[in-house]
Structure 1
Amino acid sequence: MRPGRVVLINDRSAEIGGASNLSCLAARILREAGVPVTFFAGDEPSGMTQPQAIHLNGKPLVERGRLSALAGGLYNRDAYKALRGWVAGHDKPSTIYHVHGWSKILSPSIFRALMPVRERVVLHAHDYFLACPNGGFINYPASSICTLDPMSLRCLTTQCDKRGYHQKAWRSTRHLLMQRFFALRSRPANIVLVHEQMRGFFKRAGIDDSRMATIRNPVAPFLSSRTQPHTKHDFFFIGRLEPEKGFEDAARAARLAGVPLQVIGEGAGRALLEERYPEVTLHGWCNRAQMADRLRDARCVIVSSRVPEPFGLAALEAVGSGIPVVLPSHALLAAELAEAGAAFTFPTGGIEALAAKLRRLADDDDLVLAMSEKARSCAPHLANTTESWLEALLALYARILDDAIKARAPTQAPKERTGARAFGTAGTAREAGA
């Protein structure tokens, strides 16, 4: 059964990276496939505003005053009222609610509003916030991957947040509210993982995995035409300039290796790079066309995140362009890319080890050429295309609607049961989603 409508829920309605890009892409391709879409967004309308969008006109927490951010981040009353009102006034048995992002504006209050339609809610795990209060399974002060069980006593008493224990306590409170409103431990939920290895992290958090599905993100290469990275000299870092992304690790390693580094991305770390690493070329945020133009000069792309990246979009966009990648061993794609011969890995946070890989790539044109060819060959097998991503989403929605109908059937009136039979293709949809 195809959904009668999909309500896409995300903090932002503009394509600013990550979950926002994918939620906007989902809106476009679902509409093109003839599925009505309502976009429920926490932000203000902009030049890239979605059609049929509901905007709360809110600001991201980082752009608000401290007290406003503390209170609104725990419980956004406007988000609750608006979403509860939409559900009460417009919900139908064929409506799917797909949550892409909630931690920057919308808050856990949306989960309270969605409880009446829980069986038709999809939670897209672009990150680990559903399982881990700091969203990354990382101990920021120690710059190490966290091995503690989320929300255990040891977790709650460990200062792992990049801003201090006060922020850890606030995030833990927010996590408790989310679990109270949408209890992921005691009841299964429809959760989309972007890589199968995320399942282990979620199970460690005690989350029921019986209704999890893995749907890898759609990836389009940075470059549409063939490049020759073995004839180039520059190394590139692509990502937000935030500590968890390891941008300074890339800069330090490039300096140690004596290789030129170009950085595409924006964030609070820009000032640090300008002050401490004047040899680095900073491009700031770039659109797709600008990125393609710059990456024609790339010998290699560096992914140096200190978080166990669930997907690593930049890595796959580079590999699909025939550009070798160096990435941390904890990245969930690391083993696949290294086995395919398209990437080198290094221990997360290991500056010397990263520098050694960069030196090797800088000194060996034949190696870079071989890795480039292997990258082009393996890339199509590691991610979805836009078309296959749409097919996977529609199959998932069909399974969810089928399960919801079956769950209601014993208690519904005869007229309702007749309507349920009319949906017809539930068995086929379940098989397609398997």
Structure 2
Amino acid sequence: MTRPSGLDRVVVINDRSVRVGGASNLAVLSANLLQNAGVAVTYFAGDAAGSDPPAPETINLAAQPLMQQTRLSAFASGLYSRQAHASLKDLISRVDTEGTIYHVHGWSKILSPSIFRALWPVRERVVLHAHDYFLSCPNGGFANYRKNQVCPLAPMSMACLTTNCDKRGYHEKIWRSARHLVREHYYPVRQVAANIVVVHQRMHEYFVRGQVQTSNIETIRNPVEPFLARPADPWKKRDFFFVGRLEPEKGFEDAAIAARLAGVKLHIIGDGAGRARLEKDFPEVVIHGWKSKDEMRVLLEEARAVVVSSRVPEPFGLAALEAVTSGIPVILPDAALLGEELAALGCGLTFQSGKVETLASGIRRLASDDMLLRLMSVNCIRRSGDLAHTPASWLEALLTLYDGVLKRANAVRMRPGIAVDTDIPAAGRLIDETS
């Protein structure tokens, strides 16, 4: 698709301006793709400037991620960052036109809900990219981290508010709930149909549960590039691999326990707070740390299968798709939004979320049946092409999205007798008076 005729600029908004996984990788990629397509891009980020800015005009607030701040500082700036609000408001006043799109990828790690106060006057042209569930669920995962279970509760209900589901404690749950209320006050997605992008169609049901207005929700799957340049022969290999952050919600310990029970060698590509625990309790696990794409390619050529053991309902599951598009079968939880799809296509197995014994059983099955592995590998290559975008088709989907958003915004603006209210919501004004 060619650039929409009414598109003047895209302001990409994200906590980070460097590739540190997940939303940040995609935010930076979108900036690069849009610029290559001739679209003017401004990148607005909460972190310090890196050596390779994602756009010629990159605005960095030089703030630290909340996890690196003192507790008091994180408590305050995580609820409302005055700097983020003032800087974004100034940027909007300087660059805004009727053809400017504001695309929010991430805000929960540095920028805070204050950015939504600045974005409210231009909300008809704001796109919220749901890489997680924070627009609906206060802990962002629809998970009870204490019980390692997918949460069945309605977000912000009394049952939700009185449940200690946060991995850091109930005080953190209360703070996250307060932050959720602040964001909803400044940008009430329960009252107003915001332009929201979800990365898998099954995310829609989680947003419905959170009472989010869904009329302007669109599904755009993430772009995926295979781990391997050309398919390997996984049925000839013996070792299993886990790729991801070593954080509790990723279930790295479940993968290690299941591999031990199944009697297979587990390799881990990734790092995080859980590394020391793995090294102490599971010395048989080979931990490679973070690796470049080229280094990962060499390692994963020796993979029999990739284990995805997340304890939360992963919205997309990038590692799983990078594996299957390389011809490497996967085993993943039934709560993963891709689980049923990949199992139905014969690209892998699912196990009961949070049940290590069922994960171990699945690993044993994949470890012992070369014919099954070979069939799955063939299915991966033949059937996985429609599960995700390529970078080129993702850019086309974004441009189509922007075209639709601008047309809808223009229709609202031109409707006789309709004036777009640029004031913040009443509840937001009450907060503003005390901030």
5+ long unaligned stretches in structure 1: 414-434
- One-letter amino acid matched to 2:405: I
2:115 matches 1:121 = no
SS at match of 1:186: coil
Percent identity, please. Answer: 57
**Aligned twin of 2:59:** 54
Per the alignment, residue 8 of structure 1 pairs with 12
User: 1:74–1:107: 8 Å Cα contact kept in structure 2?
Assistant: yes
Task: Report how far residue 387 of structure 1 moved.
Answer: 1.1
> In the alignment, what sits opposite 1:26?
30
**Contact residue 203 and residue 209 of structure 1 kept, 8 A:** yes
Alignment pair present for 1:161 and 2:166: yes
Q: How far is 1:289 from its partner?
A: 1.2
- Which residue is 2:80 aligned to? 75
SS of 1:191's equivalent in the other structure is strand
Give me the whole-angstrom Cα distance separating, in 1, the residues matched to 2:138 and 2:9: 31
State the shift of 1:411 in Å: 5.3
Specify which of 185, 189, 212 is matched with residue 180 of structure 1: 185
Q: Which amino acid aligns with 1:43?
A: D
Aligned residue among 45, 49, 52 for 1:41: 45
AA of the residue aligned to 1:82: S
Alpha-carbon distance in structure 2 between the residues aligned to 1:145 and 1:48: 38
Q: What secondary structure, in the 3-state scheme, does the structure 2 residue paired with 1:166 have? A: helix
Per-residue CA deviation, residues 106-135 of structure 1 (Å, 9 max, x unaligned), is 000000010010000000000001110000
Give 1:226 shift.
2.4
Secondary structure, aligned partner of 1:184: coil
Whether 1:262 and 2:270 are equivalent positions in the alignment is: no
- What whole-Å deviation, never above 9, does each CA across 1:141-172 have from its counterpart, x for those lacking one? 11111010000111111111000000000000
Distance in 2 between residues matched to 1:278 and 1:353, nearest whole Å? 23
Whole-angstrom distance in 2 between the partners of 1:48 and 1:305: 32
Instruction: State how far apart, in whole Å, the 2-side matches of 1:79 and 1:377 are.
Output: 46
CA distance in 1, matches of 2:43, 2:181: 27
Distance 2:160 2:182 in 1: 17
Provide the rounded CA distance (Å) in 2 between the counterparts of 1:218 and 1:230. 27
1:95 deviates by 0.1
2:238 matches 1:229: no
Letter in 1 for 2:161: L
Q: Is 2:309 the partner of 1:304?
A: yes
For residue 362 of structure 1, report the CA deviation from its aligned partner.
Answer: 1.0
Show the counterpart of 1:430.
none
* Alignment deviations for residues 25-75 of structure 1 (CA, whole Å, 9 cap, x no partner): 100110011100000000001123223100000111111111111111001
- Distance in 2, matches of 1:206 and 1:226, equals 43
User: Residue in 1 aligned with 2:211?
Assistant: 206
Partner SS state of residue 380, structure 1: coil
Q: Structure 1 stretch 205-214 or stretch 378-387: which is displaced more?
A: 378-387
| Deviation of the 1:225 alpha carbon | 1.6
Distance 1:188 1:299 in 2: 45
Report whether the alignment pairs 1:275 with 2:280. Answer: yes
- Give 1:311 deviation, angstroms: 0.5
Q: Is the 8 A contact 1:344 1:357 kept in 2?
A: yes
Q: State the TM-score, normalized to the length of structure 2.
A: 0.94
Among 358, 380, 387, the alignment partner of 1:382 is 387
Q: What secondary structure is seen at the aligned counterpart in 1 of 2:184?
A: helix
> For residues 29 and 374 of structure 1, what CA distance do their matches in structure 2 show?
30
- What is the CA–CA distance in structure 1 between the aligned matches of 2:114 and 2:378, rounded to whole Å? 48
- TM-score after normalising by structure 1: 0.94
Q: Shift of the alpha carbon at 1:336?
A: 0.7
Aligned residue in 2 for 1:340: 345
Deviation track 1:215-267 (CA, whole Å, cap 9, x = no partner) reads 00011100012201011111000111010000000000000000000001111
The amino acid of 1:362's aligned partner reads A
1:371 and 2:376 equivalent?
A: yes
Cα displacement string for residues 316-375 of structure 1 (whole angstroms, at most 9, x for unaligned residues): 000000000000000000111000100100000111111111111111111111110101
| Alignment match, 2:400 | 395
- Write the distance in 2 (CA, Å) between the matches of 1:389 and 1:163: 36
Q: In the aligned structure 2, how far is the partner of 1:336 from the partner of 1:229?
A: 21
Moved more, 285-294 or 21-30: 285-294
Q: Structure 2 CA distance, aligned partners of 1:137 and 1:9?
A: 24
- Please list the CA deviations of residues 147-198 of structure 1 after superposition, one character each: whole Å capped at 9, or x if unmatched: 1000011111111100000000000000000000000001100000000000
- How many residue pairs match? The answer is 413
Cα distance in 1, alignment partners of residues 69 and 186 from structure 2: 25
Report the Cα distance in structure 2 between the residues aligned to 1:144 and 1:167, rounded to whole angstroms.
Answer: 18
Q: Give the whole-Å Cα distance in 2 for the aligned partners of 1:286 and 1:12.
A: 20
Q: Which residue of 1 aligns with 2:361?
A: 356
Q: Measure the CA separation in 1 of the matches of 2:193 and 2:14.
A: 22
Deviations 1:56-112 (A, max 9, x none): 001111111111111110011110000001111220000000000000000000000
- Contact preservation (8 Å) 1:15, 1:48: no
- The amino acid that maps onto 2:118 is A
DSSP 3-state at the match of 1:59: coil
Q: Structure 1: how far apart are the matches of 2:295 and 2:193?
A: 43
For 1:77 and 1:304, the matched residues in 2 are separated by 38
**The residue matched to 1:284 in structure 2 has which SS?**
coil
**What corresponds to 2:290 in structure 1?**
285
Deviation at 1:199, TM superposition (A): 0.4
After superposing on structure 2, the runs of 4+ consecutive aligned residues of structure 1 that deviate more than 4 Å are: none
Secondary structure, counterpart of 2:156 in structure 1: coil
